[in-house]
Amino acid sequence: MDLKRYTHADARDVRSLLLDIHDEAYADEPDPFHSRERFSYFVDLWSSRENWRCVSGWEDGGPVGYAYGSMLKPGGWWKGHQRPASTRGSVFALSELMVIPQWRGSGRAKQLHDALLESVEADFVTLLVDSAHHKVRALYESWEYSKAGEAKPSDDSPLFAVMAKELKRG
């Protein structure tokens, strides 16, 4: 898989790609929370952060998926959940990890995840996963994430499992 890396400076140029992959990934999802319009808010919010970074994967001439996120402010955490006392130091929030349906189950998600995090200088990484998606949560647990609690950051969002793992460096 070929990887392309983006920063905050590339956000405008990559925005349509992120939204198009989202649309394909959620094509069968009727929940308005997963609409393109709602998701565009999150893309704009996260990519507006100066330390935002993104990795997209490409294979057979087309996109496979992407992962993006940014560092949380010192002491910062997810809305709707209190930061665990055991999570000390700097934290990278993995906001999105998305793979289009034809590439699911192929190991590409792990490749995108690892490519994004390989240059992250943080003590921990955290993410949210829809609590109803047990298989996805189990996948993150196999990558050494642990559930730290649950959060419902907005009225229209699903209940999320808050997951975190320590980043061990070299």
Instruction: Give the pLDDT confidence of 120-151 residue by residue, as tens digits.
Output: 999 999 999 999 999 999 999 999 999 999 99
pLDDT at 170 over 80: no
How many domains does the chain fold into?
1
Tell me the sheet residues that pair with 161.
129, 150
CATH number of the domain residue 63 falls in: 3.40.630.30
Task: List, for residues 7-64, the tens digit of each pLDDT value.
Answer: 999 999 999 999 999 999 989 888 888 889 999 999 999 999 999 999 999 999 999 9
pLDDT number for residue 57? 98
Mode of pairing for the β-strands spanning 2-7 and 53-59:
antiparallel
Range of the domain at 101: 2-166
Q: Structure pTM?
A: 0.94
Instruction: Summarize the confidence of residues 81-110 as an average pLDDT.
Output: 94
Close Cβ partners of 42 (under 8 Å, ≥ 6 residues apart):
95, 96
Instruction: Summarize the confidence of residues 104-133 as an average pLDDT.
Output: 95
Band of residue 169 on the pLDDT scale cut at 50, 70, 90: low
pLDDT number for residue 84? 92
